[in-house]
Structure 1
């Protein structure tokens, strides 16, 4: 169920000290103002300067002025967020942003928690994107509200709060923020979803934010169960996995454990077509001379002494 900005902040109970990722936009500005008021002297701000547009210097200037007014320490990290060939600009910027945030936190051993300002509309956009790409339950689970990484608790306390309610709260505080000009650029898929898809969903399914959120929660639970099963199966199969032992599992469990093995041991993800071809080869591998050689993810899988061997 959607909750107000005030309720979301009342429910937010991070370990202190806390770092807040501050872009200068409405959502992160509201989150920082509220956290600084609630935990004076216990909050720091982190700003990532992407360098992708002329307005980036204005974002940083706004953050510096805001943090000086709130007496909140600010750390700024400049990154090169340009995308590589075949990579989406949004994905490149996201990776650069999270890498910079983790880098800054790595230099702040006292920080116990970090907060990001994504809200309910961002979550819906993520779910729609996942569905459009044919994602499985892990993708449909979208963004988690909380997770741990490198000794830091990460939080998204506004994930059940609509963007309009956050701006309503900011206006009541008399606070200003920076509007990112790229938010109106329909070359970006998220912006097209926000402008064209969300209004239609709201007109047809007025409670879609709540129902989509429940679906994401169900998907997250299913993804967790699949992960637990994959860990158990890989322990039984061995690493690298035994072909004969794999053949004793259902095709669905084979797919689940092979995705886990490739991600865990080789940091690669097969396409649906690659995984299907691999499963066909595993099923056909009934003779000693059967050869397997397939492109999978960033490398290749071969049969070697009854095992699946991956290399790049």
Structure 2
């Protein structure tokens, strides 16, 4: 059986391995990968804290870009040779991957094939959570935590796209400057400032309409405190853990709505619907330049461990990519 290069996990470490050349099952396509996004979920998987869904590739990697090289039965939209990017349940750290056809979309015009790998996971996460679940709309204000991260840089731009105002937190002058350059009206150094007090100051005591949070437990009460009446807290990350407590009086008094989601484990049909929303709303903005992928750097696939060290250091701005050539 033909083999391709991939990055596996053994004892909490990444290692270059050979894996079977994937084949397209019914409703799938095989993509020859040019680049793959590196996400904190990948580092969690490496540590044994985020197992891939049943039936998906055991290799890390939740998004990629490349060219279609095989089409499964029942797929009519795509042709061999199409340049695409894709949302994956796993398997992006490899030379090829099989993926349901509904999770694939064309590389936006004007976006390079390599940089397109920075789009699927961030765009799908932000649109499905900030807009669909969080209901952010024109004239509202959102607090984006980790504004210089891959999710954060996309969230700032999507929020501005729909006409919302953005307040962003980050942890260094360079990161704060990056958030401001993307359209954040106010930026907060979370290492030096009380973000609740700054939010209340920036909103004349009202609070924000939506909080998009990647931190989790440690920020729960403070996020509620930063919300306006009928505000929405949307959790998309748990960097500080799962277990948290909150004063329910503040939740009841403000009529706060708490929601969030994990994209990776959602059913294929739901992921396809999210990709349809990305294609309808985000891709046109990428093609006009209203939204731009923010990329820190790229590493060769064989050097995935270095990419993990960088993302775990939190010294990057935007996305980190792996390339196969």
TM > 0.5 fold call: no
Structure with more of its chain in strand, by fraction: 2
TM-score by length of 2: 0.30
